[in-house]
Amino acid sequence: MADLDAHVVAPARLKLLTTLTAVSEAEFSTVRDTLQVSDSVLSKHVAALEHVDYVKRRKGVHRGRRTTWISLTPRGRAALSVHVAALRDLIDGVG
Amino acid sequence: MESTPERPTVAQASAALTDAEASRASLAHRIATPSWFFTSMGAAIATQIATTAVGLGDSAPWVLAAGLAIFAAVAGAQLARFRRLNGVWLGGFASRVVLGTGMLASASYAIALGAAIWAAYDGRWWLVTLCSVGGGAAYALSGRKWISTYREQPAVHWRGESATWLAMLTLAAVAGLALLLMNG
């Protein structure tokens, strides 16, 4: 059975990583609006996931203003895949 | 440092997964193309096919180059508009819809370009026009189809072709056109 990932177990982080699987890169406010969280909550989760190399941030420009672009790293994508498999095992009663 | 995760209940796990997938689907469904996107891409491809055929048929490389420049300008502008409109970068959209690496787009483009070049060498300009318009329309339709496919499975279709592969395709296309020009 796959293991749950301590860095992804919070539902907000699972939601963040899963949402990022749909794109190559997303601008901070786009992610914030999609997840319906505050700037500070999103910043906190992004910082924690960046610390373990699950996401990366870069400074860029969007609609003429400086902003942050967020993307999933290959390590983050792999970790999410394992975590989702663990959750599915749990739901299916395997775990 | 994260502590050992507290094991969620089945209900919590199910709710978390459902919520996460709904969030991803919501983002994918909100992604839209800029106004006049498919019309302008179809017209740019039609122009590029026509100018390539005319450039080769009349041995006028500048006509061919002008068509490529128009396509590059339209593609670049539309990608910038897409990014600005949606606040995302989507590699699959850039390569399969704009650069036409999707199966339908690349196959229809190759057929239309080949037929247009043949028609130009034969002096059948009405057929060059027909092939160009048909190629542009098929390219645009292929893009629309990709958007629908992406929205169904965003996590499968988000990725574009690698930069290396795109560079190889571009090199092969340039080499092919250069050969045709030299033999024209």
B148 to chain A, closest Cα gap in Å:
14
CA separation, residue A28 to residues A19, A66, A68 (Å):
12, 11, 5
State the pLDDT at residue B56.
Answer: 87
pLDDT over threshold 90, residue A2: no
Q: Which of A2-11, A26-35, A47-56 has the lowest mean pLDDT?
A: A2-11
A93 touches chain B (CB under 8 A): yes
Q: β-strand A65-72 against B88-89: which pairing, if any?
A: unpaired
Place of tokens 């999933």: A72
- Percent of chain B, pLDDT > 70? 95
**Residues in A touching B8 (Cβ below 8 Å):** 4, 9, 87, 90
| A23-32, A58-67, B2-11, range with greatest mean pLDDT | A23-32
- Domain spans of chain A? 11-92
- Domain spans of chain B? 10-183
pLDDT over threshold 60, residue B111: yes
Place of tokens 């590699």: B91
pLDDT over threshold 60, residue B1: no
Structure confidence by residue, pLDDT tens digits, B113-128: 999 999 999 999 999 9
Q: How far apart are CA B68 and CA B70, in angstroms?
A: 5
Of the candidates B36, B39, B32, B35, the one whose C-alpha atom is nearest the C-alpha of residue B87 is B32
- Across chain B, mean pLDDT equals 91
pLDDT over threshold 60, residue A51: yes
- Percent of chain A, pLDDT > 70? 97
pLDDT over threshold 80, residue A71: yes
**Residues in B touching A84 (Cβ below 8 Å):** 17
Complex-level ipTM:
0.92
- The pTM for the full model equals 0.88
Structure confidence by residue, pLDDT tens digits, B14-72: 999 999 999 999 999 999 999 999 999 999 999 999 999 999 888 788 898 899 999 99
DSSP H stretches of helix in chain B:
10-30, 37-57, 61-86, 91-92, 103-121, 125-152, 154-157, 163-183
Q: Do the chains contact at B28 and A22, CB–CB below 8 Å? A: yes
B89 to chain A, closest Cα gap in Å:
5
Of the candidates B18, B20, B77, the one whose C-alpha atom is nearest the C-alpha of residue B43 is B77
Packing angle of the helix pair A11-20, B10-30 (nearest 10 deg): 30
**Residues in A touching B4 (Cβ below 8 Å):** 6
Residues in B lying within 8 Å of A, measured between beta carbons? 2-8, 10, 12-17, 19-21, 23-24, 26-28, 30, 83-84, 86-91, 154-155, 158-160
- Percent of chain B, pLDDT > 90? 72
- Please, is A89 exposed, middle or buried when counting C-beta atoms within 10 Å of its C-beta (0-12, 13-18, 19+)? middle
Task: Indicate the residue of B2, B83, B159 with minimum beta-carbon distance to A7.
Answer: B2
Structure token digits, residue B42: 């179809």
State the pLDDT at residue B2.
Answer: 57
pLDDT over threshold 80, residue B80: yes
Computed from CA positions of residues B133, B134, B135, B136, in that sequence, does the dihedral angle turn out positive or negative?
Answer: positive
State the pLDDT at residue B3.
Answer: 58
Q: In CATH, what class is A11-92?
A: mainly alpha
